[in-house]
């Protein structure tokens, strides 16, 4: 009996210590999250590692995701089929890799200089912050119908996985009134994607939303309107508030109207030419020397004076 109580005591003590450490870690995460919450309006500071889709340098900002149980992913991974790049990048974070590149450039060791150039080339060729290896690993790591956060190009996007395909929540202002545009597929590094509705069905309603005239606008026209809207929004943000007295939508419509009027104002250009002989005298064409004729001007025409 004494041996049992002694062994039981040995078990209880480590468990109590583990429990204490657990609550201490939770308390620290809560404190870090409370400190970071005011920064959510302006952005979060994260530093990726190129070894895994969930590998980030731990910062107080990351504690928010840990505390809420929200997975944070990225797809900026080095391809294992490039051993030179793997050696150059290693397990460094982005900030550490930039510091390494600067140090290697000023080194007298040719091997370090070469390694720095390889690391710099990796950053340049993957400037989109998403590689095909990273996309494959991301698809494998994400769980079905799981809501997560995807980090790319200093932006956070809501991501989910549906029937083994990745989708990003569409938050562009230009699609505000497109009810059938909810998700954007993530299956290509170059940004070639398609839009889906809330049921992940391919959307064919671009240009038929409430903002289209009579519901007959083409997708190309609606996309152009969306681009003009974003440009107008950017221009308005650069100007003093209240300078124009127009809403974003009114400013976009005004730009569209001005562009339409400019296109309508283009008229055929006519020019007068004079029939000249190679010597400069008009006699070989059968017309009087002073006769002039009218013809349309094309871009490839040459005007003889």
- pLDDT, tens digit, 9 for 90 and up, residues 176-221: 888 889 999 998 888 778 999 999 998 865 544 334 443 444 555 5
pLDDT at res. 67: 81
Other CB atoms within 10 Å distance of the CB of residue 101: 19
pLDDT at res. 282: 43
The tokens 């001005």 sit on which residue? Answer: 258
Coil, strand or helix at 148:
strand
pLDDT at res. 162: 94
Cβ-based neighbours of 248, under 8 Å, separated by 6 or more: 173, 229, 232, 233, 236
- Tell me what the mean pLDDT of segment 42-62 comes to: 88
In the sheet with 183-185, reading across from the earlier edge strand, the strands are 72-73, 148-152, 155-162, 165-169, 183-185, 195-196
CA–CA distance, 33 with 35 (Å, rounded to integer): 5
- Tell me what the mean pLDDT of segment 250-272 comes to: 59
Closest CA to 119 of 78, 74, 76, 75: 78
Q: What percent of the chain has pLDDT over 90?
A: 38
Threshold 0.75, pTM exceeds: no
Predicted confidence (pLDDT) at residue 118 exceeds the cutoff of 90: yes
pLDDT at res. 215: 40
pLDDT at res. 179: 85
Kindly state the DSSP code that residue 196 receives in the 8-state scheme: E
**Beta-ladder partners of 148:** 159
Please give the backbone phi and psi of residue 183, each rounded to the nearest 5 degrees, phi first: -120, 150
CA–CA distance, 90 with 110 (Å, rounded to integer): 19
Q: Which of 118-127, 201-210, 282-291 has the highest mean pLDDT?
A: 118-127
pLDDT at res. 237: 53
Predicted confidence (pLDDT) at residue 31 exceeds the cutoff of 80: no
Predicted confidence (pLDDT) at residue 286 exceeds the cutoff of 80: no
CA–CA distance, 284 with 214 (Å, rounded to integer): 60
H-helix segments, 37-78: 62-68
Please give the backbone phi and psi of residue 161, each rounded to the nearest 5 degrees, phi first: -120, 120
Q: Are the C-beta atoms of 142 and 73 separated by less than 8 Å?
A: yes
Predicted confidence (pLDDT) at residue 137 exceeds the cutoff of 60: yes
The larger pLDDT score, comparing residue 296 to residue 75, is at 75
Predicted confidence (pLDDT) at residue 232 exceeds the cutoff of 50: yes
Other CB atoms within 10 Å distance of the CB of residue 164: 9
Mean pLDDT rounded to a whole number for the chain? 74
Q: Of 105-109, 165-169, 268-272, which range is least confident?
A: 268-272
Predicted confidence (pLDDT) at residue 298 exceeds the cutoff of 90: no
* pLDDT, tens digit, 9 for 90 and up, residues 61-113: 787 888 888 999 999 999 999 999 999 999 999 999 999 999 999 999 999 99
């Amino acid at each position: 009996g004494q041996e049992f109580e002694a062994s039981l005591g040995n078990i209880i003590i480590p468990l109590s210590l583990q429990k204490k450490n657990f609550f201490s870690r939770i308390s620290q995460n809560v404190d870090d999250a409370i400190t970071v919450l005011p920064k959510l309006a302006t952005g979060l500071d994260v530093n990726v590692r190129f070894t895994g889709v969930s590998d980030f340098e731990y910062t107080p900002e990351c504690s928010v995701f840990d505390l809420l149980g929200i997975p944070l992913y990225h797809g900026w991974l080095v391809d294992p089929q490039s051993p030179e790049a793997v050696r150059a990048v290693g397990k460094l974070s982005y900030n550490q890799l930039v510091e390494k590149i600067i140090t290697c450039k000023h080194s007298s060791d040719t091997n370090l200089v070469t390694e720095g150039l390889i690391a710099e080339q990796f950053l340049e060729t993957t400037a989109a912050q998403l590689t095909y290896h990273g996309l494959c690993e991301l698809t494998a790591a994400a769980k079905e119908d799981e809501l997560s956060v995807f980090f790319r190009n200093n932006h956070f996007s809501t991501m989910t996985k549906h029937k083994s395909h990745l989708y990003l929540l569409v938050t562009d202002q230009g699609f505000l009134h497109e009810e059938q545009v909810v998700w954007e597929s993530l299956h290509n590094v170059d940004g070639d994607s398609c839009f889906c509705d809330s049921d992940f069905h391919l959307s064919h309603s671009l240009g038929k939303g409430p903002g289209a005239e009579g519901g007959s606008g083409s997708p190309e026209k609606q996309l152009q309107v969306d681009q003009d809207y974003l440009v107008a929004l950017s221009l308005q943000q650069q100007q003093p508030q209240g300078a124009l007295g127009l809403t974003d939508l009114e400013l976009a419509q005004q730009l569209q109207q001005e562009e339409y009027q400019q296109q309508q104002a283009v008229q055929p250009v006519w020019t007068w030419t004079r029939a000249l002989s190679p010597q400069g005298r008009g006699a070989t064409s059968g017309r009087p020397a002073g006769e002039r004729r009218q013809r349309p001007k094309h871009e490839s025409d040459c005007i003889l004076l």
